[in-house]
Structure 1
Amino acid sequence: MPMTAMCSRKVQTCLLVVGYFTYLFLGAIVFQALERDAEQHEKTAVIQMKQAFLQNFAHLSVGDVEQFVKNLTEAIQKGVYPVRNKSQVEQSNWDFSNSFFFVGAVVSTIGYGTLCPKTAGGQLFCVFFALFGIPLNIVFLHRVGKILSLLCKRLGKCLYEKGMKKKKTKFLTLLFFLVTGILVFLCLPSLVFQIMEGWSYSEGIYFAFITLSTIGFGDYVVVSIWNLK
């Protein structure tokens, strides 16, 4: 491959990586701006509803209690939890780290469902963000795949030049990248989740696989980053 073509590919790859993460960064900022105030208003209303219930619960009718449970359930479905201390009330699900995690889930089509925009502006922006973000994510992953494929070819060529048979070279190369992929994308993240989240190792593997496969049930969430629970 000519040197100029190689340099051009490296520049294109760098621009793609910068553009990809800039797109996620800007998306996280916009979602934070659109959703944070509305969420805080909703959270304040829920806390006031809870306080009113605690002050008057002895005089409430069955219908009042059922209405309170209904309102509370709707609030929880919106990601608003009636917590006790003030710091938790002021803490937003739409801080930058959570917003960045959310945009990553959008463009990768994982869609955990544990956090989603509630305002009309946020929902509309989400449509356009995903419309352009999903193809960008596909292009980004395609480029990553090309880089890994190139590394695979170089490894195979290196082994072949050292006198190894072609079939054995292909097998060992494939085995190397398979084992490396399992270690990097399943085993190592599962260990991190076990330490940080208090999950069992099998739960960590389950979460990593559900995430990588973009199934995204949402039954397990990284709480250390995603402050929803």
Structure 2
Amino acid sequence: MGVKEMFKLAWVPSILMLGVIYVAYVLIGGVIFWKLEGDLGKKDLSELWKRKQTLLTTYSCLNQEGLVAVAQVVQDASKAGLSLKGNQTTDGFWKFTSSAVFAATVVTTIGYGNMSPTTTVGQIFCVFFALFGIPLNVVVLNRVGKYMLALGRNLSEFIEMKTKRKTCTRFFVHFISYICGAVLFFVVPMIVFQQQEGWTYSQAIYYCFITLSTIGFGDFVADSNPDYDYPDWYSFIMATWIFFGLAWLALVINHSIDILERLNGYFKQLCCGHKPEDQSASGEDDSAQTTLEESKDTKDPPKSG
């Protein structure tokens, strides 16, 4: 029995295989995070315990209940955006600029968690605002992504007409667009955040990806330190960066999905030893039809009014 025959006998549906790979990937990631962060977490807890005991010893008038009360004040002040280093009056988080950025994090589903509505009316409004805002955000980002694709396609066609090299031109255009996007949405913001927030470069690049991928842990949040006096343009630049960065990273992720699907088809063909010619031809026709529809959609933008 040959190798191909063994693969045929051991063939399982591709969706099941992808499911197994996905579960294995998540479990392996959990083990790695556990090993990387577990020991450090224990050290942090022991260090915090020592600091707690030192605090209680130094300030003998502060008992366990007093320490809990102080911790509650610190937590509430941090959530409200109040600085504990001075007695100056502050507007907290809910200024116009920070409120606009918060609205953007809601519709983009980033959800840092550093600020949230506390009033009943504000919480109800947030529900309805997200209910209609999230689909609107998806539609707008999809349209912006199509325009970005159209720009790349038009540039590629223009260079192809000049050089008569189709494959190399498309690869070159995609490569340059990825490099420019990485510089514009990661490198430049990394430098800005390092200057404005005082983060390290690794923390800044980490924040950029966690934000644009809409993971939004909330451990690092720009424009939220009450001890810093941010310039007026900072919030506007942040909102613009988030919007266009989301569209660009979504394109990169879609291209990565396409690459993974092609690899899946290649390995399936290699293992199972069959080539679905009819499906391949049908897929090409569907792809061509989709490309024509996208091209028509991007070349004829919707008319306002």
- Indicate the TM-score class for this superposition, using the shorter chain for normalisation: 0.5 to 0.7
State the match for 1:147 in structure 2: 147
User: Which amino acid letter does the alignment assign opposite residue 128 of structure 2?
Assistant: F
Number of the residue aligned with 2:211? 211
1:85 maps onto 2:83 in alignment: no
- 1:191 corresponding residue in structure 2: 191
Q: Which has the larger radius of gyration?
A: 2
Q: Which position in structure 1 is the counterpart of 2:70?
A: 69
TM-score (norm 2): 0.51
Q: How does 1:140-179 map to 2 (within 5 A)?
A: 140-179=140-179
Query: Does the aligned pair in 2 maintain the 1:106–1:130 contact within 8 Å?
Result: yes
| Partner SS, residue 154 of structure 2 | helix
Say whether the 8 Å CA contact 1:107–1:133 is kept in structure 2: yes
- Aligned counterparts of 1:204 and 1:90: Cα–Cα separation in 2: 26
* Cα distance in 1 between the residues matched to 2:64 and 2:166: 77
- Could you say what secondary structure the match of 2:163 adopts? coil
Cα distance per residue 1:110-142 (max 9 Å; x no partner): 000001001111110000000111111111111
Distance 1:78 1:199 in 2: 20
- 1:74 positional shift: 5.2
Q: Which moved more, 1:147-156 or 1:195-204?
A: 195-204
Deviations along 1:25-66, one digit per CA (max 9) or x if unpaired, are xxxxxxxxxxxxxxxxxxxxxxxxxxxxxxxx98x6736525
Q: Work out whether residues 93 and 226 of structure 1, in 8 Å CA contact, stay in contact via their aligned partners in 2.
A: yes
> How far is 1:228 from its partner?
4.3
Change (3 A) 1:75 1:161: same
TM-score (norm 1): 0.66
Report the counterpart of residue 239 of structure 2 in structure 1: none
Q: 2:224 aligns with which of 212, 223, 226?
A: 226
Please report how far the alpha carbon of residue 79 of structure 1 lies from its aligned counterpart in structure 2 after TM superposition: 2.9
- 2:255 aligned residue: none
Does the aligned pair in 2 maintain the 1:113–1:218 contact within 8 Å?
yes
SS of alignment partner, residue 90 of structure 1: coil
Distance 1:164 1:115, change over 3 A: same
Q: 1:202 to 1:131 in 2, by over 3 A?
A: same
Report the secondary structure of 1:173's partner residue: helix
Describe the shift of the 1:176–1:121 C-alpha distance in structure 2 as closer, same or farther (beyond 3 A).
same
Gaps of 5+ in 2: 1-58, 228-305
Quote the Cα distance in structure 1 between the aligned partners of 2:104 and 2:111.
9
Residue 120 of structure 2 is matched in structure 1 by: 120
Amino acid at match of 1:209: F
Amino acid at match of 1:191: I
Change beyond 3 A, Cα 1:84–1:189: closer
Alpha-carbon distance, 1:70 to partner: 5.6
State the distance in 2 between where 1:191 and 1:82 align.
Answer: 25
User: AA paired with 1:157?
Assistant: E
Q: 1:214 to 1:120 in 2, by over 3 A?
A: same
Alpha-carbon distance in structure 2 between the residues aligned to 1:201 and 1:80: 24
Q: Mapping of 1:127-146 within 5 angstroms?
A: 127-146=127-146
Q: What is the rounded CA distance, in whole Å, between the counterparts of 1:178 and 1:64 in structure 2?
A: 55
- Identity within the alignment, %: 40
RMSD: 2.3
Residue 197 of structure 1 aligns with an amino acid whose one-letter code is E
SS of structure 1 residue aligned to 2:80: coil
- The count of aligned residue pairs is 169
User: Does residue 94 in structure 1 map to residue 79 in structure 2?
Assistant: no
Does structure 2 retain, via aligned residues, the 8 Å contact 1:79–1:228? Answer: no
